[in-house]
Amino acid sequence: MRFLALESEDILFFFGALGVAMAIVFFISRQRFGESTMEKKPEDFVAQLLPEHLATKEEYSNGLLIYIAAMISLLIGLSFLGNPLLELFQLKFANGTAHAVAVPIIFALALMGLTKAPYVKEIEWHIRHFAHQHAFIPAAALATTETLTAAGFDFSQYRDADALAEMEGVDGADFDRPRGSILYDWARLNCLLYALKGRYEAYLDGKLLQHYEHDLSSIYDRRQELVSEVVEFKRKRLENPRHTDEQLRRKLKTALWQLYILVGCAVRLRAGSESYETWRRFGFKLRPIVAPPEHRDAMVVGLAVMTVSVFATVYAAFVLAQTGLWQPGRNFPIKAYDAFIWAISGGLVHGAAIFASNHIRSHLNSKDRWFSTRGARRVANPANYVRVAIGCGVVGYGVLFLWSLLFGQPTLVMAAGIMPFALLPATTGAFYAYHLDNVELASRSPRHREVASQALATGCVGFVAAGAWLSLGDQPWGDNIDYVLLITALGMVIGASLGWYIPEAVSQSRYDPLDDAKKERILSLEALAAEKFDSFDQAQKWLVTPLALLKDMAPSAAAATIEGYQEAVTLLHRGSP
């Protein structure tokens, strides 16, 4: 309570205000989580949809839970640090400060954007964006859309005379056109719009379709406008079988893409993991969808395992110190509640390191700067682990510094003294990225090596950090050898607990909907090539041969993106209407 400057009679009021502030954050966070973190672009239809429509109820609830827990944890930490942070965030008042009892409510309002505070809004946005990613927003919706785009289509239920009578501009021959052709896309668009006219209402989320009724109506209107263009295209095609119209092709693909998004999200919201049968009713030819593995958040649960391990280790050290076997040094934990303090400190510092590691890795990966290539294989780049270690060390040091403010005034000596301990979160962050790479590249070591290597590395770093701290404070080693040994043991416990849990949890629960959609596209392209060519060898040769029209990429490589897949399919059936 040092920086809160509370009188004893005010402590109860402070915790009451903290409870009110937590309630404010809880109720406003539920609404704030529904605000998108995607950049709004006119051409990006997915960005126009609300987060609640881009995830199933289960996914949305998981993300919301992470968001609320993170916001409340941040609120508690800020509240205990008190007025110094109010000044840092430039939350000033008439008397230059605020009574500590009011601090939690002030921070709650700032976190929720109800007051002007530099940096706070950005912190909240990053936490919300992180939680959206863990709810697969918008990854799952995009993956569904890409899967529907790449899927085959069964036109049999749309061939009868009544259906054709409603689908102006479509004739029976359009159903037999090759995949990727203009008339094939035209027939597919008309069939889906025909099916949506009340025929499959029971399988779709009505609230979503009602919310985006204007967008759906816009697709119907564009379809009507395209009728004359398609009729003209067919006429010219009769005169010149090689005639094509790229503008018409783009219009059809855009309309189909938007329709897939609406239909995909409406089905996922209604049926969840059971959506496979619904899509088959529309006519999509999909392989049975394997449900994602049980969700286990490697970061959250791994940190919980580590924090409990730290608590148990420090508490065991405290109990051992009570036996009288030796005289504990001044830095050794001699009170039971020290175990709580050390455990919370470890959880905050290493949690921040893991979060920073995940962020740095994702950022560099999105820019294709994370992995190196060796021939056709992706390999890990050791230089990136150094970058991650430096970033996590800086973040960990910042958290350590703020945590230290709870126990003493900020001084240069304190700032320099905690610097060696930044090596611990730096090691944790680098190993976290290393474990993720091994899982993604399928290059994991035996589990005992994963545990032993991280335990040994973190233990050695702990030994160095403790020794450096003692040297900076001119404290003799002889009187603090128990402290050095404890920090070394804690480093080993932290490394062993994270090395034991995180790689295995990531391996078992790794689920990337966009990666699954990419694999489906590649399999679909392989099947189409097998149908097109006379032999398997010819199909395989075409799949791996770089083509100028695919920007010198092989069709199988181009299929990594939905645009490349569509271009490859078009080239496969070039010359077809």
pLDDT in tens, 539-563: 899 999 998 888 889 998 988 888 8
Q: Which of 261, 292, 323 is the last residue of a domain?
A: 292
Task: Please answer whether residues 465 and 423 qualify as being in contact, where contact means their C-beta atoms are separated by less than 8 angstroms.
Answer: yes
Q: Which of 292, 320, 349 is the last residue of a domain?
A: 292
| Rounded CA separation 134/524 (Å) | 28
Task: Say whether both 84 and 59 belong to one domain.
Answer: yes
For residue 577, what pLDDT is reported? 42
Task: Please answer whether residues 347 and 306 qualify as being in contact, where contact means their C-beta atoms are separated by less than 8 angstroms.
Answer: yes
Task: Say whether both 459 and 334 belong to one domain.
Answer: yes
Query: Taking 80 as the threshold, does the pLDDT of residue 398 lie above it?
Result: yes
567 vs 90, more confident: 567
Task: Please answer whether residues 456 and 492 qualify as being in contact, where contact means their C-beta atoms are separated by less than 8 angstroms.
Answer: yes
Residue 334 banded pLDDT, cuts 50, 70, 90? confident
| Rounded CA separation 383/388 (Å) | 9
CA-wise closest residue to 529 among 571, 484, 564: 571
Residue 476 banded pLDDT, cuts 50, 70, 90? confident
For residue 133, what pLDDT is reported? 87
Could you tell me how many residues make up the chain? 577
For residue 12, what pLDDT is reported? 76
102-135 confidence digits (pLDDT tens): 788 888 888 888 766 667 778 889 889 988 988 8
The average pLDDT across 171-198 equals 90
Q: Which residues pair with 373 in a beta bridge?
A: 378
For residue 97, what pLDDT is reported? 46
Residue 294 banded pLDDT, cuts 50, 70, 90? very low
User: What is the residue whose two structure tokens read 């050898």?
Assistant: 481
Structural domain includes residue 538: no
Task: Please answer whether residues 259 and 279 qualify as being in contact, where contact means their C-beta atoms are separated by less than 8 angstroms.
Answer: no
| Rounded CA separation 317/343 (Å) | 13
| Rounded CA separation 302/505 (Å) | 8
> Interior CA angle at 502 toward 497 and 506, to 5°?
165
Task: Say whether both 95 and 171 belong to one domain.
Answer: no
Structural domain includes residue 268: yes
314 CA to centre of own chain: 34
Owning domain of residue 207:
141-292
For residue 86, what pLDDT is reported? 63
| Rounded CA separation 393/407 (Å) | 21
Number of domains in the chain: 3
Task: Say whether both 318 and 424 belong to one domain.
Answer: yes
The average pLDDT across 226-230 equals 93
Q: Which of 137, 162, 192 is the last residue of a domain?
A: 137
| Rounded CA separation 221/214 (Å) | 10
For residue 313, what pLDDT is reported? 93
Task: Say whether both 130 and 113 belong to one domain.
Answer: yes
172 CA to centre of own chain: 44
Q: What proportion of the chain, given as a percentage, has pLDDT over 70? A: 90
For residue 96, what pLDDT is reported? 46
For residue 2, what pLDDT is reported? 47
56 CA to centre of own chain: 15
Query: Taking 80 as the threshold, does the pLDDT of residue 165 lie above it?
Result: yes
**Does residue 138 have a cis peptide bond before it, meaning omega lies within 30 degrees of 0?**
yes
Task: Say whether both 422 and 487 belong to one domain.
Answer: yes
Q: Which residues pair with 285 in a beta bridge?
A: 152
Structural domain includes residue 560: no
* Average pLDDT of the residues of the chain: 86
Largest CA distance in the chain: 101
Rg (CA), the chain: 30
Query: Taking 60 as the threshold, does the pLDDT of residue 466 lie above it?
Result: yes
Structural domain includes residue 448: yes
90 vs 78, more confident: 78
Token representation of residue 211? 């919310």
Task: Say whether both 345 and 423 belong to one domain.
Answer: yes
Query: Taking 90 as the threshold, does the pLDDT of residue 572 lie above it?
Result: no
The average pLDDT across 49-63 equals 90
Task: Say whether both 123 and 254 belong to one domain.
Answer: no
For residue 8, what pLDDT is reported? 61
User: What is the residue whose two structure tokens read 């027939």?
Assistant: 187
